[in-house]
């Protein structure tokens, strides 16, 4: 982070914390320069940045003032799903979300795509180029079932940062985290079994449960501390739960990092009821703070945690390079891996391995963390600015996903349909519930490049939300405008 960015972050925090209130005059450029021992131009750049983020406004000859704005929206409260095992539904809605990827010129605010435009990714192309020059036959051949050895060694080394002591033999490379989760679920469950999930929870994992005939029990989840251990314990008491699936680091969709004591308590609970823990860490390396938070796997002594991750969010999803550290379930995981894809595509594994070997991965991660963090600040300003009052917004601690809760009976499905006219796509909240709850919520991706187009799109989303909320309040009209009205517009 440069000096001016550092200063801007500091000032932004003071504004957030209320040290400088709405409409208040900020310190002069000269006094800040003296206070922080930086140049005048550094302060000016910092103020300029905050102005861009609409946190402050300049007034000619009077200096800078804290922009008059709405209060920071509160965070979503602890969720209250129905706590009984259910068959997962919502596949049609997931398919709709996936299909919208096909549509050109649609701004994918609902997607889970990372930013692929940064220069730190370029060495990956060089790795592919070198492969093509060398023409090694092995790269065209079947890889072994476990995955490329060097890559597994590197993954094991990377896992040290999350507190894990793993060797290459503890890792199985998979076709993205999707396959990792899929084989993990099948390794610990039979059809008809019950798995506990966070609520809201990543739709990919829930559709996996559906596909294998496994029932989901949604557990109340807090936007700061994660899955409710109290509710989970009650569920364990009541139902024969085989496994718990959690995204404890930079949760999808809520963005929290589960505090370490709670991670430990979750594991103890799983031990007590002899359940497996399937831990999805796909966003874990994108936590704002360094060093990154530990995984539950790091605390695991009896091999009951299946750690699943990939390079899809940190590097590039099209590579389809993920992995699972399956602990004591290794044999079952290998069998499932074999029947599902046989082996993972060979070239992308070698390219990622070369990228890491040459030392490009950590600088890339650092840059992406910074970019997503900065994007988040801009994005949350925009949400505050363009969205109406009465909403709740998550405060992610990493990753690039934001969860917005609107007052019931708001209908995000209709909102999404309305926005499609404007070539904007969001992820509707009901995707993240086994039984279609959270229809009043939406998930947004702030990882995409931040520019005028993004801001205008967010302004449109905000305006549409406001219209729909007003309609909700005033009469019995549906919570979003019917699409025929919109076509007529």
In the bound state with a second copy, the residue whose beta carbon lies nearer, of 185 and 404, is 185
Rule CB under 8 A: is residue 168 a binding residue for a second copy? no
Residues 372-391 that bind a second copy (CB under 8 A): none
63: β partners: 59
Tell me the C-alpha distance between 55 and 191, whole Å. Answer: 52
Residue 477 interacts with a second copy (CB under 8 A): yes or no: no
**By CB under 8 A, which span of 6-14, 45-53, 70-78, 171-179 interacts with a second copy?**
171-179
106 touches a second copy (CB under 8 A)? no
- 120 touches a second copy by CB under 8 A: no
Query: Mapped to the 3 state alphabet, what secondary structure does 128-169 carry?
Result: HHHHHHHCCHHHHCCCCCCCCHHHHHHHHHHHHHHCCCCCHH
What would the two tokens of residue 393 be? 């917004």
Apex CA 314: angle with CA 289 and CA 446, to 5°?
75
Instruction: Select the span of 136-144, 259-267, 394-402, 417-425 touching a second copy (CB under 8 A).
Output: 136-144
**The Cα angle at residue 218 between residues 214 and 224, in degrees rounded to 5:** 140
Helices 122-134 and 346-357: crossing angle in degrees, nearest 10, is 120
Considering only residues 16 to 55 of the shown chain, the ones binding a second copy according to CB under 8 A are none
Burial (CB < 10 A; 0-12, 13-18, 19+), residue 392, is: middle
Helical (H) or strand (E) element with 251 = none
* Cβ nearer to a second copy, comparing 62 with 117: 117
Q: How far is the CB of 335 from a second copy (least distance, A)?
A: 6
| Greatest distance between any 2 Cα atoms in the chain | 72
126 binds a second copy (CB under 8 A): yes
Min. distance of Cβ 185 from a second copy in angstroms?
Answer: 9
Provide, rounded to whole angstroms, the least separation between the CB of residue 405 and a second copy.
26
Question: Sign of dihedral through CA atoms 368, 371, 375, 376?
Answer: positive
Residue 178 in the binding site for a second copy (CB under 8 A)? yes
> At 218, which helix (H) or strand (E)?
strand 215-222
Where does this chain touch a second copy (CB under 8 A) — which range of 4-12, 31-39, 244-252, 336-344? Answer: 336-344
- Record the tokens describing residue 258, joined without a space: 């589960």
Q: Are 88 and 185 in contact (CB under 8 A)?
A: no
Smallest gap, in angstroms, from Cβ of residue 332 to a second copy? 9
Among all chains, which residue has been given the structure tokens 């060694």? Answer: 153
Q: Does 345 bind a second copy (CB under 8 A)?
A: yes
Q: Which residue number, 137 or 485, has a Cβ lying nearer to a second copy?
A: 137
Q: Specify the stretch interacting with a second copy by CB under 8 A; choose among 16-24, 123-131, 366-374, 464-472.
A: 123-131
Contacting positions for a second copy (CB under 8 A)? 91, 94-95, 98-99, 101-102, 113, 116-117, 121-122, 124-126, 128-129, 131-133, 135, 137-145, 175-176, 178-179, 182, 186, 190-191, 204, 207-208, 210-213, 312, 316-320, 334-336, 338-348
């Amino acid at each position: 982070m440069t000096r001016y960015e550092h200063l801007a972050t500091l000032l932004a925090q003071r504004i957030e914390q209320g040290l400088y209130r709405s409409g208040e005059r900020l310190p002069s450029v000269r006094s800040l320069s003296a206070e922080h021992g930086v140049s005048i131009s550094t302060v000016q750049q910092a103020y300029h940045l905050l102005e861009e983020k609409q946190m402050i406004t300049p007034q000619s000859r009077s200096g800078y003032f804290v922009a008059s704005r709405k209060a920071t929206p509160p965070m979503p409260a602890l969720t209250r799903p129905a706590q009984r095992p259910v068959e997962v539904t919502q596949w049609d809605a997931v398919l709709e979300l996936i299909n919208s990827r096909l549509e050109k010129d649609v701004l994918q605010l609902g997607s889970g795509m990372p930013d692929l435009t940064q220069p730190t990714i370029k060495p990956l192309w060089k790795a592919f180029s070198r492969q093509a020059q060398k023409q090694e036959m092995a790269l065209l051949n079947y890889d072994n079932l476990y995955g490329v050895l060097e890559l597994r060694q590197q993954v094991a080394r990377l896992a040290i940062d999350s507190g894990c002591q793993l060797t290459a033999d503890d890792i199985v490379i998979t076709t993205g985290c999707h396959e990792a989760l899929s084989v993990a679920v099948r390794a610990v469950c039979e059809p008809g079994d019950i798995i506990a999930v966070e609520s809201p929870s990543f739709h990919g994992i829930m559709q996996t449960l559906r596909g294998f005939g496994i029932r989901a029990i949604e557990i109340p989840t807090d936007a700061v501390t994660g899955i409710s251990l109290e509710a989970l314990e009650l569920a364990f008491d009541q139902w024969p739960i085989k496994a718990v699936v959690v995204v404890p680091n930079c949760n999808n969709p809520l963005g929290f990092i589960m505090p370490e004591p709670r991670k430990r308590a979750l594991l103890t609970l799983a031990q007590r009821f002899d359940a497996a823990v399937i831990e999805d860490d796909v966003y874990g390396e994108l936590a704002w703070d360094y060093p990154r938070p530990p995984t539950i796997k790091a605390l695991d002594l009896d091999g009951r945690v299946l750690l699943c991750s990939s390079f899809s969010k940190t590097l590039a999803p099209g590579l389809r390079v993920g992995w699972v550290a399956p602990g004591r379930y290794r044999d079952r995981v290998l069998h499932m891996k074999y029947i599902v894809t046989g082996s993972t595509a060979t070239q992308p594994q070698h390219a990622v391995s070369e990228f890491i070997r040459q030392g490009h991965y950590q600088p890339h991660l650092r840059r992406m963390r910074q970019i997503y963090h900065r994007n988040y600040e801009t994005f949350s300003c925009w949400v505050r600015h363009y969205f109406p009052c009465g909403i709740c917004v998550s405060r992610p601690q990493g990753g690039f996903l934001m969860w917005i809760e609107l007052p019931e009976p708001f209908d995000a499905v209709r909102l999404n349909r309305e926005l499609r006219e404007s070539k904007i796509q969001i992820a509707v909240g009901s995707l993240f519930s086994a039984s279609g709850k959270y229809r009043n919520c939406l998930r947004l991706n702030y990882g995409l490049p931040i520019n005028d187009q993004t801001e205008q799109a967010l302004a449109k989303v905000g305006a549409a939300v406001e219209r729909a909320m007003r309609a909700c309040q005033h009469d019995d009209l549906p919570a979003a405008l019917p699409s025929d009205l919109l076509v007529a517009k």
